[in-house]
Homo-oligomer: A and B are copies of this chain.
Amino acid sequence: QRTGYPETVFGEGKTAEQITAIIEKFRENEQVVLCTRISPAKAQSVSQKIAQTKYYRTARCLVVGSPMTPPSDSYIAIVSAGTSDIPITEEATVTAETFGNRVERVYDVGVAGIHRLFEHLDVIRGAKVVIVAAGMDGALASVVGGLVASPVIALPTSIGYGSSFNGLSALLTMLNSCAEGVTVVNIDNGFGAAYSASLINHM
C-alpha cells in the first residue's frame, strides 16, 4: 500500500476490541485510518485507547490521524435528494475528505422540486466528479447525469418504504439511467462511492 495512504476498517459486526487492535496495527506505520459504520459507544471505547481520533456522529465514522491533503484545484460534488439520505452522504463526505479531497455538499435537491437543483448547477458542474445519492425513486442520478459532463457515481440509499424494497427501487433506476456517464455502487455504500470518486479526483 502506498505510504501515508489511509487504511479502512469496516466497523459493523466488529467489537471495540477488534477495531482497536486493527487500528493499532495500522498506526505502527503512522498511517491514517478510517473506520466506517461504528456506533458512538464503540467509537468512544476505541478513542480511550487510541490517540488522535475524531468521531463523526452523523456519518458514523471514526478517523484516526490527519486526513490527506486535497488537490487545490478540483473537488467532488456530493448531491443528495432528501434529508434522510444525509447519514449516507456524510459517510461519503468523511471518506472523501480523509482520502484527501475537497467536497462540496449539495443536499436536499431531489427532483420533486427540481428548481432547487438548478440553483446549484454551477457548483455541481464545476466538480471533477459527482456523487448523487437518492433513495425512493432514485431519479436524481439520471437528471444530474444529463446535466453534467463529468463522471457521475450513483449511490442508491435504502430510504423509503413499501415497494422501495430497501433501496432496490433506487438501485434499479440508477443502473438503468438513460444519461451517459453514470456508474453505480451498492445500496448505502457511501464509502465505496467516495473511494471511487477520490481515485478520479486525484487524476
| Residue positions of A touching B, CB distance < 8 A | 2, 8, 10, 12-14, 18, 81-84, 110-114, 128, 136-139, 141-143, 145-147, 149-151, 153, 156, 158-189, 192-193, 195-196, 199-200, 203
Contact = CB atoms under 8 A, between A and B. Distances in A.
A112 B146 contact: yes
9 contacts: A82-B178, A111-B143, A112-B142, A138-B176, A139-B173, A162-B167, A162-B189, A170-B176, A176-B186
A181 B162 contact: no
A20 to B, nearest CB: 14
Contacts of A195: 180-181
A168 B175 contact: no
A51 B114 CA distance: 31
Contact of A172 (B112, B172, B179, B180): B172
B162 A186 contact: yes
Nearest to A8: B180
Given A162-B175, A162-B188, A186-B162, A145 B112 contact: yes
Contacts of A161: 12, 186-188
A155 B199 CA distance: 19
A182 B183 CA distance: 9
Nearest to A195: B180
